[in-house]
Structure 1
Amino acid sequence: MISGVFGMAGGLILMLVLGQFLSVQAAMVLHGITQFFSNGWRAVIWRQWIDWRIIGLYTMGALPALVVPLALAYVPDKATMLILLGLTPYAALAVPQQWALDATKTSHAVACGFIVAGLQLIAGVAGPLLDTFFVRSALDRRAVVATKAATQALSHTLKVGYYGVLLAQVPNLGLDVYGAAIAAAVVGTTLAGPVLEKMSNENFRRWTKTIVLVVGAISIAQGLWLLMKPH
């Protein structure tokens, strides 16, 4: 439900929770599958608002982002993943306003795909940085949600492909776990539609910012605790 309304905030919370109980690889794959269905279903529901030009440019940037991690067969440790996950919303806030990032601009959309898809392979989530490319655009909030959902369906597909197929590290969590996660994602996204329709653009952005900063702080603290605790 949170993911359906606020998009990236729900994905951030889910990744933090999964990171508490699963290995990095298992968390990445389960999160990726869940978020693919959540974002994919959201994109279907709001399909008339999707900006397909942005999707195409985003894809051009996202695919090359696989090259270096794949060449190194890189898998972050859990502490690194949690710290990077938590830093993501703060990094988004640190982006200078004078850069005026805007996903409707060609070069910005390509750069967005490269940065966001690359970070998702390491931190699992990059929604707050994705948001910096949309928050100053002239797009309606429904177009923002729909287009971001489509980009994230793609990015999470790449993440699942990277960890589950290319690195051959598919976690054996059981079909019931995957089924329950997918069902929850679809139901939550569907129920969120009326809530999003009633929410103003101002409230949407304010609540999203508050949620991701709080979750980010918790994630950083947990990552640092893992680094400092004796092994």
Structure 2
Amino acid sequence: MEVIVLGVISVLTSLIAGVVGIGGGLLLIAILPNFLPVSALIPVHGFTQMFSNVSRAYFGYKDIQFEVVPKFLFGSLLGVGTIALILDMISIEYIPLFIGTYILLSLWSSKFNDKIKKYENYYLIGFLQSGLSVVVGATGPLTTTLLLKDYQDKDKVVSTAALLMSITHLLKVLVFVYFGFKFSEYLDIIVVMVIGVIIGSYLGTKLRDKVEGKKLLFTLKVLLTLLAVKLIGTVFYSTGLIL
């Protein structure tokens, strides 16, 4: 039953990302702790989102702005390599705390977003997005913020962001393979979720011009906020920081 639920969730979150351009990955990473152990959270999410973004990029191939890819890829390789060197020093027990905090700051802190916006080139964005994704999972808003400034067309932003996030998630998956994560232990979940995100990407691409993005985005922000608070509270409770 849980596998079916995850499949439905995967369709919906990928559909949201296909329509709005952001939020699907954040929403999924906020929900997954209810279904997966912490040790599997980031790698399974990364594998699933790799297919979500590849499919979204495929369906919007004509709108991808390929000139930004080499810069982003170079920065991504450096970022993932740097984090991979220190990954074994990071306690997975606190990963949900990082995720929850990141979501709240991304959604509601103008100071946080203003600081992020200072790194307005694709080398640094690639470094930060791909590097941080190994720890916090969903970092798509970093790239989307920059793309929105460079390109006014929504289809170009969504499709290009999807390709760049595909690179991020591919590199992240390779890092976890290198560290010996057994994806095969979650094969049933992964297969169902991959099918779900591809369906969601297709539907999102078709519905992008038919759904009012602002209303959906506000609803998404409220839901993400509640999930982020839940994630943070769970870490504080499980670690005994709150009695």
TM-score if structure 2 supplies the norm length? 0.80
- Distance of 1:75 and 1:24 partners within structure 2: 16
Query: Aligned-residue CA RMSD in angstroms?
Result: 2.7
Q: Would the aligned equivalents of 1:128 and 1:212 in 2 still touch at CA under 8 Å?
A: no
Alignment pair present for 1:65 and 2:79: yes
Other structure's SS at 1:198 match: coil
Give 2:208's aligned residue: 196
* Structure 2 residue identity aligned to 1:170: K
Q: 2:130 aligns with which of 94, 117, 137?
A: 117
Structure 2: distance between partners of 1:139 and 1:102: 19
Which segments of 5 or more consecutive residues in structure 2 lack a partner in the other structure? 1-14
Is this contact kept in 1: 2:19–2:204, CA < 8 A? yes
Change (3 A) 1:191 1:75: farther
Instruction: Note the alpha carbon deviations across 1:169-202, whole angstroms, 9 max, x for none.
Output: 1244343322211111111111112210234xxx
State the shift of 1:55 in Å: 1.5
Q: Distance in 2 between matches of 1:50 and 1:22?
A: 33
Aligned residue pairs total 224
Cα distance in 2 between the residues matched to 1:162 and 1:28 = 11
CA distance in 2, matches of 1:198, 1:158: 33
* Corresponding residue for residue 94 of structure 1: 110
Q: Residue in 2 aligned with 1:224? A: 233
Deviation at 1:209, TM superposition (A): 5.5
Are residues 1:108 and 2:121 paired?
yes
Q: Given the alignment, which residue of 210, 216, 235 partners 1:207?
A: 216
1:94-150 per-position Cα deviation (integer Å, ceiling 9, x unaligned): 3578779499xxx61111101111111110111223322123333310000000000
Q: Percent identity?
A: 23
Q: Runs in 1 of length 4+ with deviation above 6 angstroms? A: 96-100
Q: Does 1:160 align with 2:164?
A: no
The CA deviation at 1:12 is 1.0
Q: 1:102–1:109: 8 Å Cα contact kept in structure 2?
A: no
Amino acid at match of 1:46: G
1:51 paired with 2:65, answer yes
